[in-house]
A and B are shown apart, each in its own frame.
Chain A
């Protein structure tokens, strides 16, 4: 589907016309990310992060495929093969640091993308499917990242795998069986390393497939925008190309610059030093922590310290999974008809509390499991669940929202101090030249 004023693909090049008549792939691209996709004209820089996530995935797949040419997924040699990449493979250090830091940057970008969706209500009708598919991508990313971190077979790889797969043993009755089945043994070893490598290679392509669905679902209603007001007519939109290819190009350049600074000058800052020690099942590290992007969920897992009806560990596991799964229900929890937090004064306050709350959870998840971090993570976990499951439905029913602009164009022109009557959208600034 598209807006009726969307430009139609009309190739002038005879080769493209020949191809398009037989396989309308050029047409598909034109309609998806070319001039044939009308996009609201008022998107701010937070709308760059979808494209940035795509760039990050591409970096991961390209560096990952080359790394796999040099890596050996065998518990006996995996650690040394990674050091071989760092020392003896041409530019191997660049590939590996790009891949390791690329994972972090992928998560930074995706977290901002998700919070953009929360702030601007992008999950609401008619874009629920976009949100749900996005969460599927997020889950797949977490699985991929976790298994990727195991591959260097350092101390944190091994003990991280031990702890995370150990979570399944909290399931009553069948937990231990599932745990052993997942690992292919009683503890992480060669069988686990091999299957993790296999899945780590597979899942990014599954992610790429779900991204296609994510974009497909997005293109049915078209992109949301900072006002949350739907597109009404042609002057509300601009063609994706060249307008947003240019703006995204700038976003990609900034992203690459920050990525390069991290990759070349602080490549180990986001990793854990213990992972440069080869895996040793007989020596437990003082503090086992996952990678930083799991810290908020790890804090929720560890916040449950009391056996109340169920064992504390089972509560923690249930809560950790619930913390992610509840996001699937968000479109039906938040019934406010207004999308953007710009026009929702009460929701906006709670949104920022949630941001701070997740940052606190992240900090506690990376800290050792001792006071005051445990108590802090308990308070923060309470708010996390309360925010989504109790506060949001309540806010939606009592909030007095601010008046919405009549259209995107009106909001844009109001921002620039003009009105629709004295400036007619697209032609607005032309006479001034």
Chain B
């Protein structure tokens, strides 16, 4: 009896699924979904190789410093880095004095309270502060950016499939809309205030191409091409998103090496204990 009831329930589910499948298949065959412009023209991130890749990866500190320079001189005008503190820059090889100077000279100040009057004011950053926000709030950020909100950069390389390669592809991916796109999708013309970029999910990005050749002057003499700056800032954003990456890799190597030896020992003791006992 139980099996008959359960069989009937199963048959009911199967029947409804069959109807759903039939309806779906019929719709799919009679009116196949038209390809969207995103499906045809969106590109996967370009390949990007960084020193931090792979299980033995370590940060290239000179590259991180160059990337930080790009962030400071270009990105920070609009993009916040709210989860990172100035003191964290020690990991990039800056000395305490240098960090103090970087914080002190940062273009945007920290919101503060006037100790005399209690009114809102600003003060210079100190090493223990997080990077100040370029806009006091979302409304101000949108008002200054054609109603687009520049996302925080702290975790940027973890918020997209492709990570650093995604950031690098966006920064170097700006181009004119291909003529065949407009021929096939006349309605998909990039709107005013937007910029065509096939690496962006919906192909049109509010951010104007931020980098131009020679935009920053690297202190280490590296030529600041767009490609170089994009690589450097992508590497920097790997660090901001995963500052403990090197600890993780070195701890991982030690742990896995230990566990492999441990596995061999446990296997041998298993064989030893079971010796002469067919199983």
A interface residues, Cβ below 8 angstroms from B: 41-43, 80, 83, 86-87, 93-94, 97, 238, 242-243, 246-247, 249-250, 252-254, 256-257, 260-261, 263-265, 267-268, 273-274, 276-277, 286, 303-306, 308, 312, 315, 319, 322, 326, 329, 332-333, 370-372, 374-375, 378-379, 381-382, 385-386, 388-390, 393, 412-413, 415-416, 418, 423, 426, 428-430, 432-433
Contacts and interface: CB of A to CB of B under 8 A. Distances in A.
Given A246-B266, A247-B270, A249-B266, A429 B278 contact: yes
A381 B259 contact: no
Contact of B16 (A42, A253, A261, A304): A304
Contacts of B253: 264
B184 to A, nearest CB: 20
Interface of B: 2-3, 6-7, 9-11, 13-14, 16-21, 23-25, 28, 33, 55, 83, 88, 151, 154-155, 158-161, 201, 241, 243-244, 247-249, 251-253, 255-256, 259-260, 262-263, 265-267, 269-270, 272-279
Contact of B276 (A242, A276, A430): A430
Contact of B7 (A86, A268, A390, A433): A390
B6 A326 contact: yes
B276 A375 contact: no
Contacts of A332: 2-3
Contact of A260 (B256, B266, B274): B256
Contacts of A371: 24, 28, 33
What DSSP secondary structure best describes chain A's contact surface? Answer: helix
Nearest to B32: A371
Please name the 8 residue pairs, one residue from A and one from B, whose CB atoms are nearest each other, closest first: A264-B252, A389-B10, A429-B276, A253-B263, A378-B21, A257-B259, A250-B266, A306-B20
A329 B7 CA distance: 11
B161 A273 contact: yes
Contacts of B270: 246-247, 249-250
Contact of B267 (A243, A250, A268, A433): A250
A432 B10 CA distance: 57
A273 B158 contact: yes
B22 to A, nearest CB: 9
Contacts of B265: 253
A382 B21 contact: yes
Contacts of B259: 253, 256-257, 260
Of B2, B13, B263, the most chain A CB neighbours within 10 A belong to: B13
A175 to B, nearest CB: 19
A413 B52 CA distance: 54
Nearest to B278: A416
Contact of B263 (A257, A267, A381, A429): A257
A322 B6 CA distance: 10
